[in-house]
Amino acid sequence: MHYLDHAATTPLRPEAADAMLEASEHFGNPSSVHAFGRRARRALEDARDRVAAAVGASPSEVVFTAGGTEADNLALKGAADKRRGNGDHVVATSIEHHAVLHAVAWLGSRGMRTTLVDVDTTGVVDPGSVAEAVGRSTILVSTMAVNNEIGTVQPVAEVSEAVRAANPRALVHTDAVQALGNLPVDVHAWGVDLAAFAAHKIGGPKGVGALFVRAHTPLEPLLHGGGQERGLRSGTPNVAGIVGFGVACELAAKEVHEKAERVRALRDRLLAGVLAAVPDAVVNGDLEARAPNNLNVSIPGAEGETLLLLLDRAGIACSSGSACASGALDPSHVLLAIGVPRPLALGSLRFSLGATSTEEDVDAVVAALPDVVARARRAA
Amino acid sequence: MSGRPKAVVAMSGGVDSSVAAALLVEQGFDVTGVMLKLWRGEAANTNSGCCNLGAAEDARRVADALDIPFYVFNFAERFEATVIRDFNDTYASGRTPNPCVRCNQWIKFDALLERADALGAEVLATGHYARVDRRGGRPALLRGADRSKDQSYVLWMLDRRRLERVRFPVGDMTKSETRAIASRVGLGTARKPDSQEICFVRAGDLDGYVALHMPEASEPGPLVDGSGRRVGTHRGVGRYTVGQRKGLGLSLGVPVYVTGIDAAANSVTVGAREQLEVRELVARDTSFVGAPPAAGDRVLVQYRAHGDTTPARVRAIDPASVHVVFDEPAYAIAPGQSAVFYSAARPDEVLGGGFVARTAAPAAVA
């Protein structure tokens, strides 16, 4: 079996698993004043330090959530609600993850004006276009750091700067879920007010994430209750999961350059092999401004759905398009947004590499492709 | 990769297709379960067995229980371009569409067969109640063993080439036998009700669907009697089917039925039951399992999904159409519906079928 779907999720790192197991034994509620609580609180705050260090934040700027989707929702809805008096306009790029796009659409359904900024065919947003969309009543701008489907790296720092120039009161959010572990992350260098992260994309557990909230950034919570996480995220925290996240963050930050170099070499080997096996395959999105672990290609004359299941039967795990709730595949909104023709958008494959990827994984894909593509083309 | 024969099973999450998959696994096939997503977004009709989110979850759980791979194929665009388009066009022309037959013809036993090819699967199975008799080398399509559940009427488009590859594992059983197998193999879906509704019509609201998608078929017009005299106003030709008695809004003192629909003139004709009597029928877009019958041959004709058959004689036949003359009067045959021909010698055997193009009343015969 060969796993090339690290953008979907990653295997839990043994170091994180060990730390989680140990943390689970200290079952105290971190809000309790007694020794049991103190012990859990220490673990929680230690993890907060690690996550903050990995993303260039202060520990007090890290709010733990139940994942990247919650972090994005807290950022968008929390800021929009808190800033209601300042304006009624939210801006995002058209290639955001659904956690952002659907939250923006929901705000739109509640009377907020929304603008989705288009990107060019390289899949990289132009900071000038974002700034043009920003007006006096803009509350928040959301630009992802790395696209989850085509891996393109967005100029977050330039976007922040351009947005500040257009409207200094507008908040800047970035969905950085796919950036963590793939490129160095520094939220202050990016100049953002809010940034969303998820543990399971970097070898941590599922159901754990964080929102960076720059000091003094006004935000309304989604969840009300005991006032944990400085009132921004009530509910007893998932201490063991957060501990696993902390360990994974620390490792990811430490290894980011070495890993980037290694997976880039594997990705380039995969790209060369794919183009040799399927000469008319088309790479989607810019190859330079791209996270080192991502390859997204369209296979003319084949449907991604068929390719995917044939690869699955050949023991290769990758992905295609965006799976809807039923598991059926719709053409990716990202590929359509960067101008990929519909038939090619339907015939796309996303390979995403990770810390555990090997040359054998890459070579297995290249070996399987000719037969898989031939069969898929016959069925199309 | 295993050397076992490969089979693809179209799964709906319901008991029939779940048991079909279980039986193929027991028979030693390397089974892959698939569901067809036919509707854009989430399903329009959550009561239908097809393609809604809950059904996909049910089917996935069954597949997991059987330890077989399961995929959802997105055929929404193809379904819209073929089945839904035909449905709308047929209603707009004053005829009665059969979307389930068209789906079998264009999606299940066409597009899905191609996907099965890609998977290297020779066999495609569904949970239909029908049988394939493979004795003698040339497969024959038979009614399901349980006549009350028989679905051979919607399978007439299967020719011999397709029948070679198709399996109906529950076709030999009664519904209660199927349910018994479901509980024996521990499938949790045995409770699921059968679907009778059109999967893309929201909440079974056909009138609402017609109004939304076929505005021209929702234009009111004259309701006339057999002599052309106006007796009322209809609510759009898309809302009537030949043989319909309810919802006419008439009180003429005697029961009246829709006897004809003229979409071009936007008129609907009503009359007494005798005026629904049909002596001849021409079916078009025909398909036969094996050799087509010849002029003069006797056949049994079924022209309604859950109806009986009426004996008839083939008057004329060409590669695209069949003209039959009934031995005794048939009633209320709606143009557009399937006419399915069964063997006079072996009444369970499907010879083939077609879509009713026109019918002729007794007067025309004389």
Residue of chain B with shortest Cα separation from A314 = B1
A contact test, residue of B72, B117, B122 with most A CBs within 10 A: B72
Chain B residues in contact with A102 (beta carbon < 8 A): none
Is B117's Cβ below 8 Å from some Cβ in A? Answer: yes
Is B2's Cβ below 8 Å from some Cβ in A? Answer: no
User: Does residue B195 carry a pLDDT above 90?
Assistant: no
User: Does residue B47 carry a pLDDT above 60?
Assistant: no
Average pLDDT over residues A357-370: 98
Yes or no, beta carbons of A376 and B118 under 8 Å apart: yes
User: Does residue B177 carry a pLDDT above 70?
Assistant: yes
Average pLDDT over residues B157-177: 94
Q: What is the pLDDT of residue B58?
A: 84
Q: What is the pLDDT of residue A23?
A: 96
Q: What is the pLDDT of residue B41?
A: 62
**H-assigned helices in A97-238:** 98-109, 127-133, 156-166, 187-190
Q: What is the pLDDT of residue B52?
A: 59
Output the CA–CA distances (angstroms, integers) from residue A126 to A58, A188, B136, B199, in the order listed: 29, 21, 70, 44
User: Does residue B46 carry a pLDDT above 60?
Assistant: no
User: Does residue B198 carry a pLDDT above 50?
Assistant: yes
The label of the residue with tokens 């998820």 reads: A198
The tokens describing A132, both together, are 């043009």
A contact test, residue of B12, B30, B74 with most A CBs within 10 A: B74
Chain B residues in contact with A378 (beta carbon < 8 A): 114, 117-118
Closest of B330, B315, B257, B16 to residue B150, by C-alpha: B16
pLDDT band at B37 (very low <50, low <70, confident <90, very high): confident
pLDDT in tens, A216-254: 999 999 999 999 999 999 999 999 999 999 999 999 999
Cβ neighbour number for residue A306 with a 10 Å cutoff = 28
Average pLDDT over residues A373-380: 90
Is B360's Cβ below 8 Å from some Cβ in A? Answer: no
ipTM score assigned to the predicted complex: 0.76
Chain B residues in contact with A376 (beta carbon < 8 A): 118
User: Does residue A373 carry a pLDDT above 90?
Assistant: yes
Yes or no, beta carbons of B117 and A330 under 8 Å apart: no
Q: What is the pLDDT of residue B246?
A: 82
C-alpha–C-alpha distance, residues B128 and B17, integer Å: 8
Q: What is the pLDDT of residue A194?
A: 98
Residues of A with CB under 8 A from a CB of B: 305-306, 309-310, 312-313, 324-330, 375-376, 378-379
Distance from the Cα of B114 to chain A's closest Cα (Å) equals: 5
Output the CA–CA distances (angstroms, integers) from residue B17 to A13, A178, B224, in the order listed: 40, 40, 46
C-alpha–C-alpha distance, residues B95 and B260, integer Å: 9
3-state secondary structure chain B: CCCCCEEEEECCCCHHHHHHHHHHHHCCCEEEEEEEECCCCCCCCCCCCCCCHHHHHHHHHHHHHHCCCEEEEECHHHHHHHHHHHHHHHHHCCCCCCHHHHHHHHHHHHHHHHHHHHCCCCEEECCCCEEEECCCCCCEEEECCCCCCCCHHHHCCCCHHHHCCEECCCCCCCHHHHHHHHHHCCCCCCCCCCCCCCCCCHHHCHHHHHHHHCHHHHCCEEEECCCCCEEEEECCHHHCCCCCCCCCCCCCCCCCEEEEEECCCCEEEEECHHHHEEEEEEEEEEEECCCCCCCCCEEEEECCCCCCCEEEEEEEEECCEEEEEEEEEEECCCCCCEEEEEECCCCCEEEEEEEEEEEECHHHHC
Q: What is the pLDDT of residue B172?
A: 94
Yes or no, beta carbons of A327 and B114 under 8 Å apart: no
Give me the phi and psi of A294, to 5 degrees please: -110, 135
What is the average pLDDT value for chain B, to the nearest integer? 88
C-alpha–C-alpha distance, residues B89 and B84, integer Å: 9
Question: H or E element: which one contains A117?
Answer: strand A113-117
Average pLDDT over residues B190-217: 75
Buried/exposed A57-88: b ≥16 CB within 10 Å, e otherwise: beeebbbbbbbbbbbbbbbbbbbbbbbeebbb
Active site residues of B: 103, 199
Contact A346, A304 (CB under 8 A): yes
- What B79-85 contacts at long range (C-beta under 8 Å, 24+ apart), as own/partner pairs, is B79/B36, B79/B38, B79/B39, B79/B103, B79/B107, B79/B200, B80/B40, B82/B106, B82/B107, B83/B38, B83/B107, B84/B200
Distance from the Cα of B116 to chain A's closest Cα (Å) equals: 8
Chain A residues in contact with B51 (beta carbon < 8 A): 326
Which is catalytic among the residues A33, A215, A324, A328? A324
Distance from the Cα of B201 to chain A's closest Cα (Å) equals: 19
User: Does residue A202 carry a pLDDT above 70?
Assistant: yes
C-alpha–C-alpha distance, residues A201 and A369, integer Å: 26
Distance from the Cα of B241 to chain A's closest Cα (Å) equals: 35
Average pLDDT over residues A164-181: 97
Predicted TM-score of the model (pTM): 0.84
Of B56, B60, B74, the CB nearest to A329: B74
Handedness of CA A264, A270, A276, A278 (dihedral sign): negative
Output the CA–CA distances (angstroms, integers) from residue B139 to A216, A324, B23, B27, B109, in the order listed: 76, 39, 20, 20, 16
pLDDT band at B366 (very low <50, low <70, confident <90, very high): very low
Yes or no, beta carbons of B115 and A306 under 8 Å apart: yes
Average pLDDT over residues B72-99: 91
What type of residue is B34? V
pLDDT in tens, A12-65: 999 999 999 999 999 999 999 999 999 999 999 999 999 999 999 999 999 999
What's the residue count for chain B? 366
User: Does residue A321 carry a pLDDT above 80?
Assistant: no
Yes or no, beta carbons of B71 and A305 under 8 Å apart: yes
What is the average pLDDT value for chain A, to the nearest integer? 95
The CA-to-CA distance between both ends of chain B, in Å, stands at: 66
pLDDT band at B44 (very low <50, low <70, confident <90, very high): very low
Of A306, A326, A378, the CB nearest to B72: A326
Is B64's Cβ below 8 Å from some Cβ in A? Answer: no
Residue contacts between A and B (CB atoms, under 8 Å): 55
Residue of chain B with shortest Cα separation from A372 = B118
Of B74, B117, B120, the CB nearest to A330: B74
User: Does residue A297 carry a pLDDT above 70?
Assistant: yes
Helix, strand or coil, per DSSP, at residue A116: strand
C-alpha–C-alpha distance, residues B323 and B354, integer Å: 11
Yes or no, beta carbons of B53 and A310 under 8 Å apart: no
Chain A residues in contact with B53 (beta carbon < 8 A): 325-326
Q: What is the pLDDT of residue B273?
A: 87
Percent of residues, chain A, with pLDDT higher than 90? 93
Is B305's Cβ below 8 Å from some Cβ in A? Answer: no
